[in-house]
Structure 1
Amino acid sequence: MVLEPHDLLEINRRDLISHSPIPDWALLSLEIAPFVVVRRAIAPNGQVAVGIRGRNRNERFAAFLPKNRVFRQIKPEHLTKSYLWEIKQSPVFSALTNSADLFNKYSLSWGPGGSVGFELASKVETVTLESDLDIIIRAAEQLPMDVGVQIIHELKKSPVRIDVQVETPAGSFSLSEYVRGSDLVLLKTIYGPRMSKNPWNDPK
């Protein structure tokens, strides 16, 4: 089982490992929806770094989980197999429908992250009228610049703010920053963020 950042994991909260007390809001969140998200961080051998999300943006708690205690793994790209969000009445989900056509046009491996991905995976309402749309693109090979430019151009027409993160073997970066054509982009890695000339083959 390959666990990657943004993957949602269904778990038993008793299996979580934390070096500080888990706050009450986090325990309540896990009762409502027993899902955590894989974090981009170094974890002890046999464990994965995970995060608990609450109802508010400032409610995030970091913990660890034994890899063999994952009940179910849902990747962002798994959530695009069927357009389950089309029955939902929200500007964010309408934007997701329009975005889906765009990403599928270029045969990309993609999916929703953030509150949208969490709601689709857990079946618990987490999206609000203020929610942004977070999109994850899995790109094992370099994404052509012209494709990236066209995607950002089309997404700017959306009434909803859409943030696209590109996941590579080396880490993650913002697509909007990448298409600016700068020599360096901010690459998020398990060792922390750093500026990179090649976000697909960044030397450690």
Structure 2
Amino acid sequence: MTVLLAHDLLWGLTPEHLPADAPAWVIEAMGEGHPVVVRRALTAADQIAVGVRGRLREQRYATLMAVTAIQRRVRPEELCHVESDRDWPALQALAQLRPLLDDCGLSWGVSGSAGFELASGVEALHQHSDLDLILRTAQPLGRVQALELLKQLDAAICPVDLQLQTPNGAVALREWAGSAQRVLLKSASGVRLVMDPWQALEQAA
């Protein structure tokens, strides 16, 4: 299997794989065959850090999954053009923004509740859900360009949270488009403030 990345959805984790103290809702979700989402954390080579989503917003559970247990993988990029018969604002915003993102010249994907629902068919969205997106930015994205993109996203029908996926971790487009000198970079080794997310060695003073 190719390298697993944050926000990938994986199938194959079962109740038998869970720790003995796992909450009942986690056991139920895995018993129903729901996918888990890859999260950023350092693990042994034969394991992957994942998160379980419950029906409620506060139901999030971090655990580990054996790489050998993975039966299926769906990347956020595979969900860009998946259609749904549900009509929540987040899905309306996705349809509205799809041409813009397709034309931006970079690989993008759907994550969060929208990605989970589009990939699994498990209802996760509601009237007030944001639309979570990722943008693969292997090369630096200028802050002026980031601001222009943010303005277009902010015109959508619902709030849009886009994360720039750099080789060193993720940074929120909204932060990178802002005026703060340092921005929050999320990586497998933790969270830190940096001046340039594409130059990961810079640490907060």
Q: Hey, what does 1:4 align to over in structure 2?
A: 5
In structure 2, runs of 5+ residues without a counterpart are none
Shift of 1:34: 2.5
- Any idea what SS the aligned residue of 1:77 has? helix
**1:51 CA displacement:** 0.6
Structure 1: tracts of 5 or more residues without a match: none
- What SS does structure 2 have at the residue aligned with 1:112? strand
The letter for the 2-side match of 1:84 is E
Equivalent position to 2:91, from 93, 116, 119: 93
Give the aligned residue type for 2:83: L
Aligned length: 201
Q: Deviations over 1:41-97 (max 9, x none)?
A: 1112310000101011110111101112211111101112x3423x33221101011
- How far residue 181 of structure 1 moved from its aligned partner, in angstroms, is 3.9
C-alpha distance in structure 2 between counterparts of 1:15 and 1:133, whole Å: 33
1:42–1:49 Cα contact (<8 Å) kept: yes
> In the alignment, which residue of structure 1 is the partner of 2:112?
114
Match of residue 63 from structure 2: 63
Conserved? CA contact 2:18–2:27, under 8 Å: no
TM-score (norm 2): 0.91
Q: Distance in 2 between matches of 1:45 and 1:58?
A: 29
Q: Secondary structure at the match of 1:84?
A: coil
**Map of 2:30 onto structure 1:** 30
Which of residues 125, 132, 137 in structure 2 aligns to 1:139?
Answer: 137
**Are the equivalent residues in 1 in contact too, given 2:15–2:30 (CA < 8 A)?**
no
| RMSD over aligned Cα atoms | 1.7
Could you say what secondary structure the match of 1:56 adopts?
coil
In the other structure, the counterpart of 1:39 is: 39
Kept in 2, the 8 Å contact 1:8–1:38? The answer is yes
**Aligned letter for 1:5?**
A
1:12-65 Cα shifts (integer Å, max 9, x gaps): 3146353x5111101111233431000111112310000101011110111101
Counterpart for residue 103 of structure 1: 101
8 Å CA contact retained: 1:133, 1:161: yes
Normalised TM-score (structure 1): 0.92
2:83 is matched with: 84
Moved more, 144-153 or 68-77: 144-153
Aligned partners of 2:90 and 2:158 also within 8 Å: yes
User: Identity across aligned pairs (percent)?
Assistant: 35
Task: Give the letter for the 2:55 counterpart.
Answer: R
Shift of 1:146: 3.5
User: Any conservation in 2 of the 1:109–1:137 contact (CA below 8 Å)?
Assistant: yes
Shift of 1:182: 3.0
Q: Secondary structure at the match of 2:31?
A: helix
SS at match of 1:111: strand
2:6–2:39 Cα contact (<8 Å) kept: yes
Question: Cα gap change, 1:13/1:61 in structure 2, threshold over 3 Å: closer, same or farther?
Answer: same
